[in-house]
């Protein structure tokens, strides 16, 4: 089911799989980016989310201040908010987004209790989140 849609992202929730899928569509300014992070928090609080596939293929750069906010302030709240076990990230074609996401995950790894892996396609990411 569609959970949230905008010009920059679509978020769906598949209840039977306890799976959230996100698909970024381009650049988000700071306000848009942080608003989407609030929606991420909302979905894990409202729904039983065990698996997450974040498709960053078309995502663009994340500003340094937003990277800092995500790693230090948002990630600990997100980690405590739900029952997420696995997050698959489909890597962006944009090198600046790819580096930003890797930076965020590395900096927040101490506070995030779920497994995160990087993929370059939907099929492999889906197989991994559904395994085990």
All structural domains of the chain, each given as residue ranges with its CATH number in brackets, are 2-130 (3.40.50.10600)
pTM over 0.75: yes
The predicted structure's pLDDT at residue 13: 98
Rounded to 5 degrees, what are φ and ψ at 22? -120, 145
Give the model's confidence band at 92: pLDDT under 50 very low, under 70 low, under 90 confident, else very high.
very high
Expressed in angstroms, the distance from the first to the final Cα of the chain is 24
Tens of pLDDT, residue by residue over 41-60, are 999 999 999 999 999 999 99
Q: Is pLDDT above 90 for 132?
A: no
Arithmetic mean of pLDDT over the chain: 95
The predicted structure's pLDDT at residue 73: 95
């Amino acid at each position: 089911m569609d959970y949230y849609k905008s010009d920059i992202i679509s978020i769906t929730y598949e209840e039977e799989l306890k799976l959230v899928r996100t698909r970024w569509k381009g650049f988000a300014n700071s306000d848009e980016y942080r608003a989407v992070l609030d929606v991420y928090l909302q979905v894990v609080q409202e729904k039983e989310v065990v698996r997450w596939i974040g498709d960053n293929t078309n995502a663009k750069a994340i500003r340094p201040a937003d990277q800092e906010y995500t790693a230090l302030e948002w990630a600990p709240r997100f980690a405590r908010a739900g029952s997420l076990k696995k997050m698959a990230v489909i890597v962006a074609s944009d090198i600046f987004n790819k580096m930003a996401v890797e930076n965020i995950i590395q900096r927040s790894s101490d506070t995030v209790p779920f497994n995160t892996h990087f993929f370059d396609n939907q099929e492999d990411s889906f197989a991994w989140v559904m395994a085990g």
